[in-house]
């Protein structure tokens, strides 16, 4: 009985010691605890999700090398693509400067090249292009999108890049991105979406400029009507 009590209290003490082993402001220590714990998760999807969030956290904490190492632990290709997106957005958010950001995006591109599942690979490139646009690296975003072999996904990448640029108020870059889309249907969609983005921001001149470029009569009318409604709502909310 005494031996059992000693073992019991020893285990409790050990667990409490582990629980208190990291200072609350020691993010590196807590991240290490998560990584150690994640390795013991048997469900692959749950483990991948845990690594995904950890990789994003490392990236936002400025630990790019650590984020990429954690990315390597993810098995599912779609989760890898989503993780690449998270890391890329962290790079854009940290605003480290052109050279350092370019190096980080090059590293992400190298990781994307390791994805053997074609749809996930294409999604990863789309996410990288979007992150580059968020970072203000429009040339890099256009280059990444241009290297996508699937026409539909390439058009989508240009369109989403244009949306990011419109969200940043960069009309010139958004127009260029849309102009690189070969498909009229995708171009019309991009013009309509970016028009609404500018309208929502109160930039009605650029919203109108985007709307009038649509060559589908119905979609053009809808976009123009949206501009009018944002300027002066037709109904009073009750």
- Half-sphere exposure for 20 (CA within 13 Å, toward CB): 6
102-128, pLDDT tens digit by residue? 999 999 999 999 999 999 999 999 999
130-137 mean pLDDT: 94
Longest dimension (CA), the chain: 86
Long-range CB contacts for residues 27-35, cutoff 8 Å, separation at least 24: 27/57, 27/61, 28/61, 28/63, 31/57, 31/58, 31/61, 31/63, 31/66, 35/70
pTM above 0.85, yes or no: no
Return the number of other C-beta atoms located less than 10 Å from residue 30's C-beta: 15
Measure the CA–CA gap between 61 and 66, rounded to whole angstroms: 10
Written as six digits, the tokens of 202 are: 């109160």
State residue 234's pLDDT score.
79
Say what percent of the chain tops pLDDT 70: 90
State residue 98's pLDDT score.
83
192-227, pLDDT tens digit by residue? 999 999 999 999 999 999 999 999 999 999 999 999
40-84, pLDDT tens digit by residue? 999 999 999 999 999 999 999 999 999 999 999 999 999 999 999
Measure the CA–CA gap between 195 and 61, rounded to whole angstroms: 35
Nearest to 206 by CA among 220, 194, 223, 214: 194
State residue 3's pLDDT score.
54
pLDDT over 70 (residue 13): no
Asked if residue 215 lies in contact with residue 181, where contact means CB atoms within 8 angstroms, the answer is no
State residue 6's pLDDT score.
46
Measure the CA–CA gap between 212 and 151, rounded to whole angstroms: 25
Measure the CA–CA gap between 166 and 148, rounded to whole angstroms: 22
Measure the CA–CA gap between 109 and 181, rounded to whole angstroms: 22
Measure the CA–CA gap between 99 and 93, rounded to whole angstroms: 15
Asked if residue 84 lies in contact with residue 112, where contact means CB atoms within 8 angstroms, the answer is yes
Q: Among 47-56, 92-101, 147-156, whose mean pLDDT is lowest?
A: 92-101
Measure the CA–CA gap between 83 and 127, rounded to whole angstroms: 10
Q: What is the mean pLDDT of the chain?
A: 91
2 band by pLDDT with thresholds 50, 70 and 90: low
State residue 236's pLDDT score.
64
In DSSP notation, 8-53 reads: HHHHHHHHHHHHTSS-TT-HHHHHHHHHHHHTT--SHHHHHHHHHH
Instruction: Say which residue, 22 or 55, is predicted with more confidence.
Output: 55
Measure the CA–CA gap between 45 and 195, rounded to whole angstroms: 38
Written as six digits, the tokens of 204 are: 């009605």
pLDDT over 60 (residue 185): yes
């Amino acid at each position: 009985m005494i031996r059992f009590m000693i073992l019991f209290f020893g285990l409790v003490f050990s667990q409490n010691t582990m629980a208190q082993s990291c200072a609350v402001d020691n993010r590196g220590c807590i991240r290490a605890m998560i990584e150690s714990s994640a390795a013991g998760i048997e469900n692959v999807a749950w483990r991948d999700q845990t690594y995904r969030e950890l990789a994003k956290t490392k990236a936002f904490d400025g630990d790019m090398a650590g984020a990429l190492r954690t990315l390597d632990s993810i098995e599912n290709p779609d989760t890898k693509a989503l993780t690449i997106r998270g890391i890329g957005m962290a790079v854009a958010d940290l605003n480290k400067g052109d050279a350092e950001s370019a190096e980080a995006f090059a590293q992400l591109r190298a990781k994307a090249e390791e994805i053997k599942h074609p749809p996930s690979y294409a999604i990863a490139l789309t996410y990288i292009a979007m992150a580059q646009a968020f970072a203000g690296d429009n040339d890099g975003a256009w280059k990444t999108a241009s290297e996508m072999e699937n026409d539909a996904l390439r058009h989508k990448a240009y369109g989403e890049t244009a949306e990011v640029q419109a969200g940043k108020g960069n009309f010139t870059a958004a127009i260029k991105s849309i102009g690189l889309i070969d498909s009229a249907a995708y171009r019309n969609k991009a013009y309509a979406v970016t028009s609404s983005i500018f309208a929502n921001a109160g930039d009605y001149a650029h919203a109108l400029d985007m709307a009038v470029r649509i060559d589908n009569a119905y979609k053009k009318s809808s976009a123009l009507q949206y501009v009018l409604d944002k300027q002066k709502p037709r109904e009073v909310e009750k």
